[in-house]
Amino acid sequence: LIVLNLPFALIGGIVALWLTGLHLSVAALIGFIALFGVSVQNGLIMVTQFNVLRAQGMALQEAILQGAEERFRPVLMTALVASLGFIPMALASGVGAEIPKPLATVVIGGLITSTSLTLFLLPVLYSWMERRRASVGDSGVSGQ
């Protein structure tokens, strides 16, 4: 479930490169590595909170609503700090700016899409998967 953030981060990074007219380079690929780390971390923060609340006996919908509310700010702050930290690199135009610019562009663009997924789509997917897991468990079908 957490790994589903990666395609959205990838799409955001590629679209950001395309919109700015930059090419895929080694620096951009390094940006994707950094982006994937932050994306997975944000997803892990959210899903871990859902699991903790469920382990405490909370109902699925209540755990998702409370968990999303409690982890909204940490996920958003992580993404904003990373994005804002890369803005000077993305806007640089001096000598040597062609190296860090694609890296920063990838991280900023990818964080926009992956954070949106983490905050809005991940709770829906978690609910869907938990309901599906419960229905498979109730029907007596083994998970092999």
- Tens digit of pLDDT for each residue in 62-109? 999 999 999 999 999 999 999 999 999 999 988 888 899 999 999 999
Task: Residue 27: name the closest of 97, 80, 129, 83 by CA.
Answer: 97
Q: What pLDDT does residue 143 have?
A: 46
Domains, the chain, ordered by start: 2-121 (1.20.1640.10)
CA trace torsion 131, 56, 67, 33 (10° rounding): -80
What is the chain's mean pLDDT, rounded? 91
Q: Residue 14 burial by CB count (10 A; 0-12/13-18/19+): exposed, middle or buried? A: middle
Confidence of residue 138 (pLDDT cuts 50, 70, 90): low
pLDDT-derived band at 139 (thresholds 50, 70, 90) equals low
DSSP 3: G
Tokens of 142: 């083994």
pLDDT in the model for residue 144: 44
Residue predicted with more confidence, 142 or 105: 105
Residue 44 confidence (pLDDT) above 80: yes
